[in-house]
Amino acid sequence: MPTSAKEQSSGSESSESSSSVINTVECNSFDIGVSLLNSYLSKKVNMTHCKYLIFSEELAAKGIGNYIYSLKNNVEIRPTCNILISKCSANYFLENSKSVIDEVAAKYFSLETSSEKNTSYTEAVTLKDFFCDLSDTFGSPYAILGSVNDLESNNVSGTDSSLNDQEYTAKESDENNQKNIENLGLAIFKEDKLIGELSGLETIIHLILSNNFQNATVNIPSPFNDSNFISLYIYSAKSKNSAQILNGTPYIKCNVNLQMKLLTSSQSANYMTTENKKLIEEYANSYFLAHINNYLYKTSKEFQSDICKFGKYAVKHFLTWNSWTEYDWSNKYQDAFFKADIQSNLSSSYLIMETNE
């Protein structure tokens, strides 16, 4: 587990450095592991400042329900610490969790958690969130998807222009290069077992449909040139969701409203005329609607996991709690069919309204 230490310099100034110590024990349970660590460490292990609970992809695929219930029962571990599924081993993830900007381990992990507010490429999922999703009947749990990535070949930085937004996920890096942790996408569970993952763009769609979206910048194909893209800043997104039971099958409607600003400009740009503005909005609607439908049917048919918790809209159609639990929403979700509509409103960034050649 990473711990931060402060070193006092010889002068009046002080500097902070991340002295991370990683100890590993083999044990049958988390609590026994802590006791084994306490048996040979000079200080008692204290979990009250825990920022992350990291599970490897391999372990998560086998099921982490017992770990989650035990951790939730531990009075030292705050329910606000984050659940992360690492595509590499948890030990390798911790060994390479080093920032090139902030060298203090505790601050580094806090910044990594808050990055979702700036990009919407992931979502901060806490122990409390995961536990509630695991134990209720309205949906399925999910967690932050993370890995160790090489800074020089990081796809998000744009070095690989052949990839589209929807292909970006947290990826493992070449062990010979400089490492940095990357939280990008979501790890999807069916009950307590990991079954798949969402990319960065799919996570944006998930946040929009679950009404947890804050803001994001997204590229869409340009309606004026097939080889170019237009950057849109989405600053508001709301989804009005409803669910019915038709002939025993879930029927889910999603009406999405997007508020966007146009970021792209060029030497001969004239995007904000009435005609061009309408054309961009139509392209945006078509682009996002396609990805919304892909997301809905991917979670339903491929993952069979209702991570949007549409079940909370369907439960009102059942007269008693027993009739709801007997319906078994978690297994009926795979049979769901959907109707999605979208409306967008585009405005300029107001810095450059029009240019001429």
The domain locations on the chain are: 1-198, 201-357
- Mean predicted confidence (pLDDT) in 79-83: 92
Q: Which CATH class is domain 201-357?
A: alpha beta
The better pLDDT of the pair 6, 55 is held by 55
Judge contact between 292 and 237, C-beta under 8 A.
no
Comparing CA positions, the residue from 184, 210, 218 lying closest to residue 199 is 184
Within 8 A by CB and 6+ apart from 236, the residues are 258, 259
109 band by pLDDT with thresholds 50, 70 and 90: low
Judge contact between 236 and 259, C-beta under 8 A.
yes
What pLDDT is stored for residue 355 in this prediction?
46
pLDDT at 22 over 90: no
What pLDDT is stored for residue 158 in this prediction?
42
Range from 99-108, 253-262, 270-279, 346-355 carrying the lowest mean pLDDT: 99-108
**Residues 217-224: contacts with CB within 8 Å, 24+ apart?**
217/119, 217/263, 218/165, 219/165, 220/283, 220/284, 220/287, 221/283, 221/287, 222/264, 222/283, 223/279, 223/280, 223/282, 223/283, 224/276, 224/279
What pLDDT is stored for residue 258 in this prediction?
94
Burial class (CB in 10 A: 0-12, 13-18, 19+), 326: exposed
Q: What is the mean pLDDT of the chain?
A: 80
Q: Give helix 127-135 / helix 65-72 axis angle, nearest 10°.
A: 120
What pLDDT is stored for residue 11 in this prediction?
36
What would the pLDDT profile of 290-324 be if each residue is shown by its tens digit? 999 999 999 999 999 999 999 999 999 999 999 99
Comparing CA positions, the residue from 226, 216, 156, 161 lying closest to residue 184 is 156
What pLDDT is stored for residue 68 in this prediction?
93
